Chain A
Amino acid sequence: MTWVNAVVQGIMLGGLYALLACGLSLMFGVMRIINLAHGDIAVLGAYLVLVVLDHWHVSPFIAVLPVLPVMMLAGYVLQRLVLDRSLKSGLLVPLLTTFGLSIVIQNLLQEKFSPDVRSLGGPAGSIATASWQITSQLSIPAIGALVLGLAIAILGGLQFFLARTGPGREMRATAQDRDTAELLGVNARAVYGRATAIAVAIAAVAGLFLAIRSSVEPFSGPTQLIFAFEAVVIGGFGSLWGTLIGGIVLGVAQTIGAQIDPQYSVLAGHLVFLAVLASPRGGIFRVRRVAT
């Protein structure tokens, strides 16, 4: 039963990784940009929630509401003013640009909030620690179930948006062939801006739950980026449902590794990532641009 519990905890953890990886997958799927600042953007989202919380003393779940439009706007502006210009110079330049952005965010956070570790676990209340006891050795954490449910809802919503709505079709078309989409009247720069706005907002949600489940400090972004990146690669770049599966596989690998020996937790995840990377398929799902 201990192993079953490890798998269940891994699935819950996978929900957080899927949430973290969702925006990364979307940006790569639509624009072929690997956003190296994605983890830092998630952490920035958590800090913005902390700012709202410090001023108005509300629940983090309320405090995140004004943060989301701010992050969406920031994402749109980031794409229009920075990433669009980088993209014109080839695919490597956005990589360097987002690497630079990552350093800027980390240092700004340290300057503003100090290197101290912060958590939203306390302000979130009992949900952060509550769990459903199934047996003496198996329990389901409430926050884990909430994050997994939210990850499924967000990925499902994004899937619906891409598959069933006009702007979503435009996004898929632009992802497949930007030049042709423009020849049909699509403003590709605006589409890219919308994709980044969505990705950044989802990253902020992931940052919120990261800070509730554990804690954040100004330099915790790169670690989260690695987990998000691994989830995306395991699931197959550009595949949204693959991202969820990839996150769960990574989470389960880590909790099973931890079950063997706590020091093997992260290593087990990396080994699964490397095994998938070395496989001829290159991911559980077929690699494509913004799959539906």
Chain B
Amino acid sequence: MSLDIAEGETVALVGANGAGKTTLLRTIAGAHSPHAGTITFDGADITRVPTYKRVSLGIALVPEGRKLFPDLTVEENLLVAGKHARPGRWDVAAVVEAFPLLAPLLGKRASALSGGEQQATAIGRALMTNPRLLLLDEVSLGLAPVAVDLLYDSLQRLIAEGATVLLVEQDLTRAMSTAGRVVCMLEGRLVLDGRAESFSRDEVTAAYFGLHRRDGTSTSSVPA
């Protein structure tokens, strides 16, 4: 597969379980090594760059399941990420401004947070690195609808500010309304790629489950 993302673009990556979405995100972030191919960031080949060095280049991943440090407080979780941050506007105060629900929770251990609070902390933690590319893996998974709404309100503000986001989301409607571009993966391959408004929900669903292969629907593509 080949995927290009332009600066300032918001891309929703959708696909059924096992399609390879998380693997793709983790490979971009450096947590997995690709068996073949290259990953290029800002014109440079970063395929062999260690995970921790990619953060200083500007790549940050919010992993599936949040993966907070449970015995660290919310503030400590943020500060760990901030220690190796690129220069930029994000610090603890800016994160609290973006996610006001974190303000009274800074001294609380991450293990004591609700799902929505944990997800806000996880996103804030990634933002603390001042990323140029933010990879979000299943941010709404397991959250109450109210928490998801709050989270996406904050995300929309980030996107409006020009953040570059690659978003993995199971909720098709939300993915298509949040992102300017939708990419669908099926069994490790790209089967649909184009502007979100150019597809109907049914077309994306068909690609999602591989139905387009049976009915002969072709894959659409637009340049990034």
Contact = CB atoms under 8 A, between A and B. Distances in A.
Interface of A: 166, 169-170, 172-173, 176-177, 179-188, 288-289, 291-292
Contacts of A188: 52
A176 B69 contact: yes
A169 B52 contact: no
Interface of B: 29-31, 50-52, 55-56, 60-61, 63, 67, 69-72, 76-77, 79-81, 83-85, 125-126, 129
A124 to B, nearest CB: 40
A183 B79 contact: no
A169 B55 contact: no
A186 B79 contact: no
B63 A183 contact: yes
Contact of B63 (A180, A185, A289): A180
Nearest to A291: B71
B55 A181 contact: no
A184 B80 CA distance: 7
Contacts of B61: 183
B71 A185 contact: no
Contacts of A181: 69, 80
Contacts of B72: 169, 172-173, 176
A288 B71 contact: yes
A170 B52 CA distance: 13
B51 A177 contact: no
Contact of B69 (A166, A172, A182, A291): A172
Nearest to A180: B67
A180 B52 CA distance: 10
B163 to A, nearest CB: 18
B129 to A, nearest CB: 6
Contacts of A176: 69-72
Contacts of A169: 72, 76, 79-80, 83
A181 B29 CA distance: 12
Contact of A184 (B70, B71, B84): B84
A79 to B, nearest CB: 17
B69 A183 contact: no
A192 B144 CA distance: 38
29 contacts: A166-B79, A169-B72, A169-B79, A173-B69, A173-B80, A176-B69, A176-B70, A176-B71, A176-B72, A177-B67, A179-B31, A180-B69, A182-B50, A183-B30, A183-B31, A183-B51, A183-B55, A184-B55, A184-B126, A184-B129, A185-B56, A185-B83, A185-B84, A185-B85, A185-B129, A187-B50, A188-B52, A288-B71, A292-B71
A285 to B, nearest CB: 13
Contacts of B56: 185
Given A184-B55, A186-B52, A177 B83 contact: no
Nearest to B59: A183
Contacts of A186: 52, 80, 83-84
Contacts of B30: 182-183
